[in-house]
Amino acid sequence: LTAKVRRLRVVDRCSPPPSMAAPEEEQQATGTGEAVWEGILGVLGGKEEIAQRFFALYADSFDYWESRDAKDNGRLSLGVIMLLGLSNLVIKQDGFVIHVGENSFKFRFTEQTADREALISELTKRFQEVIARTDTVRGRVRVNKVAMWAAGTPKGLNIYKSQAKEEEGGQPEIVLDAADIQTCTHDAGSFVLTS
């Protein structure tokens, strides 16, 4: 199984979606329903120190407590990451990074992290659900230093030779199905899609 990596350089800048982090008074309302995954993860702090916390992944949020006992005893969570604002998910060998608006949260697997594959599968499913709700985005891009036109929809990304080709109903040069996009990372205006 090989992954294809494509580097896209954004020519027209787009504003990131606003952060959907829950206000303090609404945090108690999150985490309703049944958790689809629970377990211990390492959280990277400001000085790259790793703190272990107990997490529960729900349909709309990723909540965390000091420990499993704190959750089981009904204590309020220490924090909540609202998944509706999920703008990027980067899966790494030793963990993952969740981007919500301009905030990023870095997680590491620990020896106590159970069922990593199920967690990654559920997070990926949530990310794809957020993408599916996103409207079409269009703009100029560079693919391997060639200027092209991209039209991103909930179904995927179509890349044309030019804007005129898309408007004429022409065939895209590159078609990336949303379900096949494994990761999308960006830095300094450059997006790297792995499919």
Instruction: State pLDDT tens for residues 150-163.
Output: 887 767 788 888 88
Interatomic CA distance for residues 172 and 35, integer angstroms: 41
**Cβ pair 58, 66 in contact under 8 A:** no
Nearest to residue 17, comparing CAs of 91, 92, 99, 90?
99
pLDDT digits (tens, 9 = 90+) for 55-111: 999 988 899 999 999 999 999 888 888 887 787 888 998 999 988 877 889 999 999
Q: Whats the size of the chain, residue-wise?
A: 195
Judged by DSSP in three states, 195 sits in coil
**DSSP-assigned beta bridge partners for residue 151:** 138, 158
Task: Enter the pTM of the model.
Answer: 0.55
Q: Judging by beta carbons within 10 Å of its beta carbon (0-12, 13-18, 19+), is residue 22 exposed, middle or buried?
A: buried
CA-closest candidate to residue 140, choices 191, 194, 89, 87 = 191
**pLDDT tens profile 23-65:** 333 333 345 578 999 999 999 877 778 889 999 999 888 999 9
Report how far residue 90's alpha carbon sits from residue 171's, in angstroms, rounded to the nearest whole number.
Answer: 30
Placement of tokens 């499913």 in the chain: 125
Closest of 47, 88, 62 to residue 194, by C-alpha:
88
